[in-house]
Structure 1
Amino acid sequence: MIQTTNVSPTLDGLFQRNLARQPNAPALLDPINKARISGRPPLRMTFAQADRAISALAAHFVESGLPINSVIGLQLPNTIEFMLTVLAAHRAGLIVALLPQLWRQAELTAALNRTGARAIVTMSKIDGVSHADLAMNAAAEAFSIRHVCGFGEDLPEGMASLDLALKSGRSSERVVVQDGRKAALVSFDVTADGLRAVPRTHLNLIAGGLAVFLESRIPQGARLMSAFAPSSFAGLTSSLLLWLLSGGTLALHHPFDSEALERQINDCACDTLVTPGPMALRLTDADMGSRVPTLRHVIGLWRMPEQVASSAQWTAEQARFTDVYLFGEVGLFGARRTADGVPVPIMPGPHGAPRDVPGTSIAGETLLTSKGTLALRGPMVTVAAYAPPTPPSDALMAPPPPPDYADTGYAARLDRSSGAICITAPPSGIVSVGGYRFLSQDLQEWAKRLGQGALLTALPDRLCGYRLAGRAQDNARGRDALNQLGLNPLMAEAFRDRTIIG
């Protein structure tokens, strides 16, 4: 068995605390439509069963020769395997790099090379796409990769099966110091300077989870339903961390099937739902009380935080609504709506969690920069990851001290009457389609590869921020060309044929 020594709180330490208190309580529940997503039957695990699975996966990573502090990339759906693998990597002393599901070979290769990842974990198929083949192709171009493994059937030759590792029940004698100050996670952001790797410690992650957990007043032993992709800092903290902090049950929904979501909420008697903000507000379009009677807390995550102030009123009296403002991978903050369902003003300066309880610990701080943009600082923000580049060493002037905050790039101003922060626009030059961000100039560069007359542009969309639309002389050939280049399918599908029915 892997031996751990606790120095300060870690994710595995939080799990071990829950395990000791209630080993036979339900811990993790798969999406009810998992067979459609991955071809695998849904699983249900107690804390004791999850612990054995985590130990077996951790032993596999150790026996594969991955040294402590190695980076391991994860591209998995929102299923039990994702949560188990994150905790197993930490138990083995590894650092997890989150790889969004829509990333294809070009983005995967760039991220793996940027972090020097030694291994990659994936699923054989996700939503009909062979992610096992994607991982093998990306690993061939990432010189640091030494181990490729996956869940599921029909894995390519050379890919290790993690299902066999789970069945073996092995454990390892590696000694791992569980130190919350050590790196635990790397996520990826897109800024004006391009792709940026953002590392975080266990303590950074716990701080992010606490900010949401305390602001939304989730009870201990909560039955959580997460319908938000976990392949980002916000996605992980609003699912894995909320579960570990509450010590309850985490049910997972692979976004997005509204009928399956409601059925699973009722089957699991979930009291807390985590979902994108625009989707959450749609729950009140019909009789929410009769459809999902057990819900008491709804957490809406806003990838477009500039939309919160103008969003619809939350009218469901049975549940309280909490807005969580997301700023790429920089950080987040939450604000529980008033009893009448209206968003609360966001004031500049330090804020606790909960916001309306004086004397609480500082969860973070919001401020305006001299450029008229919103900046964040606090225990979850890794300022160094967003620091401006160091000037050349031959510069005659001494460089200014680095800022103690991270600039989100979101345009903001202060309301003259209330003094509250008004977020007015997303970062310039960056296109956000759901949870995926691109440089607008990159869209044009890829369109040029399709020949003369090709166009790829971003159109405003209330639900997703932007949607992509493309035009080429032959749309079908354009889609094939972008797929062969290993690009995100959002770009390829922008060139789908559109038939106008008169």
Structure 2
Amino acid sequence: MVAPHAPLDEGRPNMPTPQLRLVRLLAGAAARAPGRIAFSSPPTDMATTWSSQPLTVEAAEGHVRRLASFLQHLPLERGGPLGILLPNGPEACITILAALQAGYSPCLLPLGWRGDELAAAVKAANVPAIITLDRLGEVRPAELACATAANYLGLRFICSYGSDIPDGVIGLDAALEDQVVREFEELGPIGPPAPSPGLITFERGPQAFVPILRPEATLIAASLPLVFAARLGSDSRIISLLPPDDLGGLASGLVAALSADCPLTMQALFDGDALVRDLALDPPATLVAPGWIEDLLAEAGLLDQAELTCVLVHKAPVELPRGKQHAARVVDVLTISEMALLAVARAGAGSMLKLGPFGALAPGGVPLLEVVADENGMLKARGAATGCTVLGAGDPQSVAHAPDGEWRELPYGVSLEDGLLRTIEPR
């Protein structure tokens, strides 16, 4: 039994340790309040029968355990990547956590990528298996994964939620039925899985996709400036419009909800009716949205609600907003590459992000995150929240983490206005 962990907002500063894992945060929530909602999504977005209703933390933990048991029996290398090609919803959260529990590295593949982009990313990260779903509107992700496998022999297994799956694809709905799970349990464990090395996301380089491996502890550390700036805690609830497929989407959704011990609702970006309904519920919500949608949210009147907190996630390169003030409390989040995540509450008409330290001090006096610019305006970062590794082709197990105090160069330059960040551009 995994020992429960308290929410990370109790007794600040609470620095993540290498032993702290996302599944342990879920287990801690299940031990404290098993009936609390963990993950939910509007019914139209559901892809599996077991997520047609909001999942409690107890039910979510059970699904994670069942799926992890199945995944452990796939003939895959422990610690290696496991591709996840899923939309924003409970299925993605459960699958990410189950892959970690089984000892794999979830490799997060955005559904919006073209076939050639998906193939390039799968090859760059040496992905041997993908978990996806049969359909999402007019999109057929399982068929896209099959087309990728036809052009990359290293992709050996495709598993899919849903009933309308192509030949040769493993149906996860059937694999997770009670009888099948009992048969796996009768086979017995194949040995306890080693802890996952972390999660893999991608940085789009000038000529290729670059896989970035981030250990769970540093992902939790990366989310803490956002958790603190948005004042998230066990009395909060998060509504996220961002899929958990990059640093910004992960840290502001799944990881923030587990760290703050609060429910997470995931919605499609343009499902306005469902969003309005969810925002009207109690307690007041924290809405997570891409930064470019700020004007649309304002035009719809959603940012006129003083009880709402809106987290706007910007991704470099970007020109940060100015001259925009709302009744809602706004937190601006900026992700620079897949290495650094800055978060500050807006105190005036526009982003208040600036260079310097973010969050509490880690052991040894190093900030959780510190971002500075050199004399040429090039950015660099250090701290526990920056711990990640650029994976080289053909060597996905190479994990040589830089010390927390070591500066990491970021491929971006910055322009300032009155000491505040305004433009972040690649250089």
TM-score category (smaller protein): 0.7 to 0.9
- Equivalent residue runs for 1:251-262 within 5 Å: 251-262=265-276
Q: What code does the residue aligned with 1:352 have? A: G
For residues 50 and 189 of structure 2, the distance between their equivalents in structure 1, rounded to whole angstroms, comes to: 31
Which residue among 292, 313, 321 is the counterpart of 2:324? Answer: 313
> Per-residue displacement from partner, 1:170-226 (whole Å, max 9, x unpaired)?
4563554675xx521111111235321111101111111112111221122421101
Number of the residue aligned with 2:314: 302
Whether the 8 Å contact between 2:3 and 2:27 is mirrored in structure 1 is: no
Give the TM-score normalised by the residue count of structure 2. 0.83
| Alignment partner, residue 457 of structure 1 | none
Deviations 1:208-250 (A, max 9, x none): 1112111221122421101112211111111111110111211
Aligned partner of 1:373 in structure 2 is 378
RMSD: 3.2
The within-5 A match list for 1:340-355 is 340-344=348-352, 346=354, 348-352=355-359
Q: CA deviation at 1:145?
A: 2.4
Q: CA deviation at 1:327?
A: 1.7
Q: Assess, with a 3 A threshold, how the Cα gap between structure 1 residues 286 and 30 changes in structure 2: closer, same or farther.
A: closer
TM-score under structure 1 normalisation? 0.71
Q: Which has the larger radius of gyration?
A: 1
C-alpha distance in 2 between matches for 1:296 and 1:184? 33
Specify which structure has the bigger relative contact order, considering alpha-carbon pairs within 8 angstroms and separated by 6 or more residues: 2
Q: Give the secondary-structure state (helix, strand or coil) at the position aligned to 1:183.
A: coil
- Structure-2 separation of matches of 1:2 and 1:8: 11
Q: Return the alpha-carbon distance in structure 1 between the equivalents of residues 369 and 123 of structure 2.
A: 32
- The CA deviation at 1:425 is 4.6
AA in 2 matched with 1:406: R
Write the mapping of 1:125-164 to structure 2, written as runs, cut at 5 A: 125-164=135-174
In 2, the alpha carbon distance for the partners of 1:178 and 1:214 equals 31
> Structure 1 residue 334: deviation in Å?
0.4
Deviates more, 1:79-88 or 1:10-19: 10-19
SS in 2 for 1:33: helix
Distance in 2 separating the partners of 1:184 and 1:176: 17
Are positions 1:203 and 2:217 aligned together?
yes
Find the counterpart in structure 2 of residue 28 from structure 1. 39
Amino acid aligned to 1:31: P
| Aligned with residue 232 of structure 2, among 196, 218, 228 | 218
Look up the match of 2:112: 102
Sequence identity (%): 26
1:148-187 matches, cutoff 5 A: 148-168=158-178, 169-170=181-182, 171=185, 173-176=189-192, 179=195, 183-187=197-201
Secondary structure of the corresponding residue to residue 380 of structure 1: helix
Residue 397 of structure 2 corresponds to: none
Distance 1:345 1:272 in 2: 19
For residues 337 and 152 of structure 1, what CA distance do their matches in structure 2 show? Answer: 42
Superposition deviation, residue 269 in structure 1: 4.9
**5+ unaligned residues in a row in structure 2: which ranges?**
5-16, 393-404
| Kept after mapping to 2: 8 A contact 1:99/1:231 | yes
Q: CA deviation at 1:307?
A: 2.3
SS in structure 2 of the partner of residue 189 of structure 1: strand
Contact 1:3–1:174 (8 Å) recurs in 2: no
> Structure 1 residue aligned with 2:337, among 312, 328, 338?
328
- Report matched runs for 1:76-475 at 5 Å: 76-168=86-178, 169-170=181-182, 171=185, 173-176=189-192, 179=195, 183-192=197-206, 194-267=208-281, 269-285=283-299, 287-288=301-302, 295-304=307-316, 306-308=318-320, 310-316=321-327, 319-338=328-347, 340-344=348-352, 346=354, 348-352=355-359, 362-382=367-387, 384-385=389-390, 404-415=406-417, 418=418, 420-427=419-426
| Offset of residue 39 of structure 1 | 11
The amino acid that maps onto 2:261 is: G
Question: Does the 8 A contact of 2:213 with 2:391 survive in 1?
Answer: no
CA gap of 1:183–1:369, structure 2 versus 1, over 3 A, is farther
2: CA distance between counterparts of 1:191 and 1:220? Answer: 38
For 1:104 and 1:3, locate their aligned partners in 2 and report how far apart those are by CA, in whole Å. Answer: 42
How far apart, CA to CA, are the structure 1 residues paired with 2:176 and 2:293? 35
